[in-house]
Amino acid sequence: MLNHVVVGSNDIERSKRFYDAVLGTLGAGEAMRNVAASGHTRLFYRHAGSSFVVSEPINGEQATPANGGTIGFKCSSPEHVKQFHDLAVANGGTSIEAPPGPRESSMGTMHLAYVRDPDGNKLCAAFRP
**Residue at 118 is within a domain:** yes
**Residue at 104 is within a domain:** yes
**Residue at 48 is within a domain:** yes
What's the predicted TM-score (pTM) here? 0.90
Q: How far apart are CA 118 and CA 113, in angstroms?
A: 16
The CATH number of whichever domain residue 118 belongs to comes to: 3.10.180.10
**Residue at 114 is within a domain:** yes
Q: What is the domain count for the chain?
A: 1
Which residues, 6+ apart, have CB-to-CB distance to 4 below 8 Å?
50, 51, 52, 53
Distances (CA, A) of 76 to 9, 25, 26, 127, 128: 28, 10, 9, 6, 8
**Residue at 10 is within a domain:** yes
Residue 98 has pLDDT above 70, yes or no: yes
**Residue at 25 is within a domain:** yes
Calculate what percentage of the chain has a pLDDT beyond 90: 83
Confidence of residue 99 (pLDDT cuts 50, 70, 90): very high
Instruction: Specify whether the CB–CB gap between 108 and 127 falls below 8 A.
Output: no
**Residue at 63 is within a domain:** no
Dump pLDDT digits (tens) for 7-62. Answer: 999 999 999 999 999 999 999 989 999 998 889 999 999 999 899 999 999 898 99
**Residue at 42 is within a domain:** yes
Confidence of residue 101 (pLDDT cuts 50, 70, 90): very high
Residue 1 has pLDDT above 70, yes or no: no
Residue range(s) defining the domain that contains residue 30? 4-58+69-127
Closest CA to 93 of 102, 103, 83: 83
Q: How far apart are CA 58 and CA 12, in angstroms?
A: 13
